Amino acid sequence: MASFYLEPEDSYYLASLSSNPIAQKLEIAKIGVHPELREWTFVIKGKPQGDQGLWQELAQAVKSAAPEVLSVRFDWTMEDSDSDVTYLEQAIKQVQSQVENGSMVSEPNVSTPRRNGNGRKRGLLVNTIGGQAVPIKDLQEEERNVVICGEVVSFDSRLTRTGKTLIIFDLYDGTDTLSCKAFLDEPQDLGFKQGEWLKVRGNLQFQSFDNQLSLMVQALTGAEAPPTLVDEAPVKRVELHLHTKMSGLDGTIDVEDVVKLAASLGHEALAITDHGVIQAFPDAHRAGKKHNVKIIFGVEGYLVENDLHI
């Protein structure tokens, strides 16, 4: 029997140790520690599942990650994990009843948030979040324990009438954008701002008042942004066929942005060839001067025979 129990920093730590679908859903309730035997006991929410091979794999992975541990055991709470609904989950289920009132919003009537063993409120910030991030574009229906990773493209916070804080931020991962929400009992500096990358875990739920899916956040941590685009070619290319947003239905990028990108890649010149128009030329000229990129002014034109009757 364990000498004492610890509250896990990441309840889904085991998910980071195995790609097995069952492991991805395992939620740790607490970790028992026996110092003399150098033994850890993971108490997992729910009922026993999976085969012996999975538990041997997880035990070996834990011992590899923590060499001081000689023995790893697993136990279960024998409770239905679906009944273990967090404060945040209850909040999002009732968020459709919120009433906008300027910068204030009415707060759902929910129970007190869960606390850990020493009575402290469990915060959103954690050191690590296990599990592989799912592309946002693949999220199409309600789901529990979803992990996503992306750039913060917007952030807002509102004070509720009872003194709690509702935070709302959007994450973009290169495939799509998802709105994330959480309620905080007390003001808290989460340590991130727009433009930074986060890894977030929560429950994906449909909100009828805006007809879209949102992620009710259970935990979040900082993440590294993907590497920036680099052109390692010894001789840089010159793009001679490029459409800006001035090419209707065939271009979306602003000319300033594309010239800036070319400069960051070390390209010395760039051609602008919109469809039958030259409206991008003035902005292209200014951007070229600003970023020291030579602009080649062009156009993708249309030729017809003079004698052709249309």
pLDDT-derived band at 263 (thresholds 50, 70, 90) equals very high
105 CB-side CA count, 13 A: 20
Vertex 14: Cα angle to 128 and 61 (nearest 5): 105
Q: What residues does 141 pair with on adjacent strands?
A: none
Vertex 272: Cα angle to 268 and 276 (nearest 5): 165
The DSSP line for 215-276 is EEEEEEEEEPPPPPP----SS---B-----TTSTTT----HHHHHHHHHHTT--EEEEEEES
Q: What is the pLDDT of residue 187?
A: 67
CA dist., res. 201 & res. 190, Å (int): 15
Q: Among 43-57, 74-88, 162-176, 247-261, where is mean pLDDT lowest?
A: 74-88
Q: How does DSSP classify residue 52?
A: H
Contact 204, 180 (CB under 8 A): no
Q: Among 152-156, 196-200, 205-209, where is mean pLDDT lowest?
A: 205-209
Residues contacting 277, CB < 8 A, separation 6+: 246, 247, 299
Structure tokens at 151: 């750039």
Residue bearing tokens 């070229």: 288
Segment holding 61, helix H or strand E: helix 52-65
How many residues belong to the chain?
Answer: 310
**224 residue type, one letter:** E
Residues contacting 172, CB < 8 A, separation 6+: 136, 150, 151, 153
What is the phi/psi pair of residue 83, to 5°?
-80, -10
Neighbours of 131 (CB within 10 A): 21
Q: What is the pLDDT of residues 1-23, one digit of tens each?
A: 556 778 887 888 888 888 888 88
Q: What is the pLDDT of residue 291?
A: 95
Q: What is the pLDDT of residue 101?
A: 38
Q: What is the pLDDT of residue 208?
A: 64
Q: Among 120-124, 139-143, 152-156, 224-228, where is mean pLDDT lowest?
A: 120-124
Structure tokens at 225: 């942004």
Global pTM exceeds 0.85: no
Three-state secondary-structure class, residue 161: coil
pLDDT-above-90 percentage for the chain: 27
Structure tokens at 17: 């140790």
- For the chain, list the domains and their CATH numbers: 4-77 (3.30.300), 136-222 (2.40.50.140), 227-302 (no CATH)
Q: What is the pLDDT of residue 2?
A: 53
Contact 236, 261 (CB under 8 A): no
Average confidence score pLDDT of the chain: 80
Q: What is the pLDDT of residues 62-73, one digit of tens each?
A: 888 888 888 898
Please return the burial class of 227, using the count of CB atoms within 10 Å of its CB with bins 0-12, 13-18 and 19+. exposed
Asked if the model's pLDDT at residue 209 lies above 80, the reply is no
